[in-house]
A and B are shown apart, each in its own frame.
Chain A
C-alpha cells in the first residue's frame, strides 16, 4: 500500500464553473442574464437565454426587446464566494484535498481517491452525474500538475485522462494565449511568432529566461511538474451552516427545493468527508417582515444521503403554507453521529431498498413524531398497562422471563366499553372464566376485575370483564 502510494503519480482535477456568477443567483433554470458592474450590458447569459437569442455584451435595452421576460441579476461576489465554498464542501464526497480558486474554480486532488472509486472513469462518472443534478455548467480537465489541470479546464478541454506523458502531450498543443501571463508578455510571444506551448518548449531554457524573464520559466516548470506547486487546502468549517439569500422573493414553499438541493448536496459532501451522519437538520426560512419559521427535521438513525434529506425536507415543506414571501433560507445541522462505514456507502451504485429507518423518518416527518410507534410488552398484569406504544423504548430487560398471560385477545379496546349493569344481554354467552386480575394498588389505577371470554350470537368472541360494582364491560376482541 505504501509503495503504491509513493509510486503513484499525482493527478488533479480542475472544475471551472464558467457561469457561477449567474447560476449562484438563479433559483431555477430559465432565461437569465448577469449584468456587468456598470449595469448596462450583459456579462453572462444562461443556456436558455442564449437559445432565446441573447448573448454576452448585449445592451440591456436590446436584451429586453428580444426577450422581455429575461431575468437579470446584478453581480453579487459575496453570493458567488458562498456558492463556491458550498461546492467545495460538496466536493468532499470525491476528494479529501480540495483547493478554492475564486471566483469560480475548484481543484481536487484525485490520485489518492482512484482506488476508492475503482478508477478515474468511475469517479468522473459519479461526479458528472451529481454535477448535472446541481445544475451548474462546468468545464473540467485532469492534469498531472495543479496548473496543467487548471489551464486545460479553462481552455475547455473536457479531459479525463491519467498519466504524466499523456498530459504533457495535450499541453504541447495548448495555445500560449491560454497561459495566464501579463498582456505585455503575450504580445511579446505573439510578436516572435510563438503560438503554442510546444514552440516555447523548443527554445533552450537559457533563452527563455533571458528573453522573457525567470518568472515565465518558473511558471512553465510548475506547469510541467519540474517544480513543486504547493496548494492551500480548503478547510471545511467545524459546523455545517449554509445560508442562502434569494435574489427574489419566494412565494411557494416547494420553490425552495432547488436551492435546498444544492445545500443538501454540500451537506452530503461535508458529512462524507468527516465520516458523519446527520440526525437532525434545522431549516430556517426568513420571512419578508423579518420573522422566522423554523423546522426541525429528524432522521431516526442518521443519514448522510442528500436524496434522503431532500425527501424529508420535501415532505415537511409540502405541509407548509407560506403566510409571507421568503427572502432567505438557512440549513444548520445540529445532531451528528459517526457513521459506520459500508452500510451507508454513498457510492454504492447497487443501493437497493432504502434504509429501514429512512421509511420511519419519512412517515414521522409527515405525520408527526408520535405517529409511528413500536408495540412492546410491559410487565404488568393490568391489561391497560401490559402493552405500550412507545417512542423511545426504555432500556429493555433482556431475557426477562415474565409468564405470558394466556387467553388474551388480539385487539384491546382503547378504553373498556360498558355493556350493561349486573345482567349480561342474552346474545352474549360466557365461555371461559372468570380470571381475576387485580393489581395496581401501588399506584392510582387500582383494578379488580373478573375477565371472561364470551361468544356473541354471530360467532365472534369478545373479552369481557365484570368490575367490583358488578358492571359488565367489553375490553377486547379475539380478531
Chain B
C-alpha cells in the first residue's frame, strides 16, 4: 500500500498525470521539448506546452533567460508563424540567434512606446493566431493583464513567455507556469514556482552556458545571411 501511494505521489510529483479534462497523453502531444532533459523534467508534459503563458523570473539579463528558450525558438522559427519579441531590454543579437539555429526570417522585434501599448501589442499578437511564440518583457504589478494574456495565448494557440523581475515572484500570477531563473557558474538553476498538474519543484541546474554557442557549427541551421556593405 505504502509503495502504491508512493508511486502515485511520484507520478503526480513528476507532473505526468494531469488530473483534469486533458489526458496526460494529449498534453505531451502538445508539448515541445525544451532541448534540456533536466528542464523537461520540470515541465508538465515534459516540455513547453502549447497555448500557454510561461513566466520567466530573473533579476538581471544574463541569467539564462535566452538560453533556456533558444532550442524552442529554433524549432518554432521553422514554422510559418512569427516569433515576436516585444520590448526586449537589449538587442537580440543576430549571430547568436543564428548560431542557435533560429530562422531569422520569422523573427520580428516590436518596440512599443508605452506600457499600455505594450500590453495591447502582447495581447494582439498572442491571440492573432499568426505567432508561434511571443516574448514580452513586463514590469511588476500587471496581474490583471497577465490573466488576459493567458486567455489570448489560448485563443491564438501561441506560446507566450513573459520575462519579469524575480521580485515579482511573491505576487500572484495567472500564468499557469512560473519559473525562477538564477545564474550558476555552470549554467542556470531553474525552480518551478508554479506549474499546472504538479507541485512546485526545487531548483535544478540546466547546463546553459556561453560554451554552447561557442561550439555551435556556423552553418548549422537554415540561416540566411544578408550582406550589407563591404567587408574584408
Residues of A within 8 A of B (CB): 352-356, 358-360, 362-363, 366-368, 370-381, 383, 385-390, 393-394, 396-414, 431-432, 439, 442, 453, 455-456, 458-462, 476-479
B210 at the binding interface (Cβ < 8 Å): yes
4 interchain residue pairs of minimum CB distance: A353-B129, A479-B66, A460-B62, A459-B183
By a beta-carbon cutoff of 8 Å, the part of chain B in contact with chain A is 60-67, 70, 80-82, 88-99, 104-105, 107-113, 117, 120-121, 124-125, 128-131, 156, 182-185, 209-210, 213-216, 218-219, 223-232
In the bound complex, what is the Cα–Cα distance between A407 and B121 (angstroms)?
33
- Of A379, A396, A439, A459, the contact of B184 (CB 8 Å cutoff): A459
Q: Which residues of B contact A412 (CB under 8 A)?
A: 90-93
A455 and B228 form a contact (CB under 8 A)? no
Instruction: Say whether A367 contacts B225, CB under 8 Å.
Output: no
Nearest neighbor of A441 in chain B, beta-carbon distance: B232
Can you give 19 contacting A-B residue pairs, CB < 8 Å? Answer: A359-B130, A367-B110, A367-B117, A371-B110, A372-B110, A377-B226, A387-B95, A390-B226, A404-B95, A409-B93, A411-B66, A442-B230, A458-B183, A460-B60, A460-B183, A476-B90, A478-B62, A478-B67, A479-B65
Q: What chain B residues lie within 8 Å of A409 (beta carbons)? A: 93, 96, 210, 213
Chain A residues, CB < 8 A from B82: 356, 359-360
Do B183 and A359 touch across chains, with their CB atoms under 8 A apart? no
In the assembled complex, the Cα of A408 lies from the Cα of B215 at a distance in Å of 11
- Most chain A CB within a 10 A radius of its CB, from B70, B117, B130, B223: B130
Q: Which of B62, B89, B117, B125 has the most CB of A within 10 A?
A: B62
**List of A residues within 8 angstroms of B67 by Cβ:** 410, 478-479
Q: When chains A and B are docked, how far (Å) is the Cα of A403 from the Cα of B220?
A: 11
The docked-state distance in angstroms from the alpha carbon of A398 to that of B81 is: 21
Q: Are B213 and A373 in contact (CB under 8 A)?
A: no
Instruction: Give the residue of B80, B109, B111, B124 whose beta carbon is less than 8 angstroms from that of A374.
Output: B109
B residues less than 8 Å from A387 (CB atoms):
91-95
Most buried by A among B67, B96, B131, B156: B96
**Chain A residues near B96 (CB-CB < 8 A):** 408-410
User: Given A353-B130, A367-B110 in contact, is the A379-B61 Cβ separation under 8 Å?
Assistant: no
Q: Which chain B residues border A400 with CB–CB below 8 Å?
A: 224-227
- The residues of A that contact B210 with a CB separation of less than 8 Å are 407, 409, 431, 453, 461, 478
Known: A358-B130, A380-B231, A411-B89. A394 touches B226 (CB 8 A): yes
**B95 x A386 contact (CB < 8 A):** yes
Chain A residue contacts of B224, Cβ below 8 A: 396, 398-400
Q: Chain A residue with minimal CB distance to B120?
A: A366
CB distance from A388 to the nearest CB of B (A): 7
What separation, in Å, do the CA atoms of A326 and B1 have in the docked complex?
Answer: 79
Please give, as numbers and ranges, the residues of chain A lying within 8 Å of B89 by CB-CB distance.
411
Residue of A nearest to B99 (CB): A404
Distance in Å from the Cβ of B3 to the closest Cβ of chain A? 39
Q: Considering the chains assembled together, what is the distance between the CA atoms of A394 and B125 in angstroms?
A: 26
Q: Which residue of A lies closest to B112 (CB)?
A: A367
A411 touches B92 (CB 8 A): yes
When chains A and B are docked, how far (Å) is the Cα of A402 from the Cα of B225? 8
- Write out the residue numbers on chain A whose beta carbons fall within 8 Å of the beta carbon of B223: 377, 404
Which of A401, A408, A413, A458 has the largest number of chain B CB atoms within 10 A?
A: A408
Q: Which A residues are CB-close (under 8 A) to B213? A: 406-410, 478
Collect the chain B residues with CB atoms within 8 Å of residue A386's CB: 94-95
Task: Determine whether the beta carbon of B99 is less than 8 Å from that of A379.
Answer: no
Q: Is the CB of A379 within 8 A of B128?
A: no
| Nearest CB in chain B: distance from A353 CB, A | 3
Residue of B nearest to A439 (CB): B232
How long is the Cα–Cα vector from A389 to B105 in the complex, in angstroms? 12
Q: Which residues of B contact A398 (CB under 8 A)?
A: 224
Residues of A within 8 A of B80 (CB): 356
- Whether B228 lies near A363 (C-beta < 8 A) is no
Give min CB distance, A300 to chain B, whole Å: 11
Looking at the complex, which one of B97, B112, B125, B156 makes contact with A410 (CB distance below 8 Å)? Answer: B97
Does the CB pair B90–A411 fall under 8 Å?
A: yes
In the complex, the answer to whether A397 meets B110 with C-beta atoms within 8 Å is no
Neighbouring B residues of A397 by C-beta, 8 Å: 225-227
In the complex, the answer to whether A363 meets B90 with C-beta atoms within 8 Å is: no
Residue of A353, A394, A404, A431 with highest tally of chain B CB at under 10 A: A404
Q: A376-B104, A387-B95, A412-B91 are in contact. Are A461 and B209 (CB under 8 A)?
A: yes
Residue of B nearest to A387 (CB): B94
Whether A375 pairs with B109 at a CB distance below 8 angstroms is yes
Point out the residue from B81, B97, B183, B227 that lies within 8 Å of A402, measured CB to CB: B227
CB distance from A335 to the nearest CB of B (A): 22
Question: Known pairs A375-B92, A377-B98, A459-B183. 10 more at Cβ < 8 A?
Answer: A359-B128, A377-B225, A378-B227, A380-B229, A388-B94, A406-B99, A409-B93, A409-B96, A458-B183, A476-B93
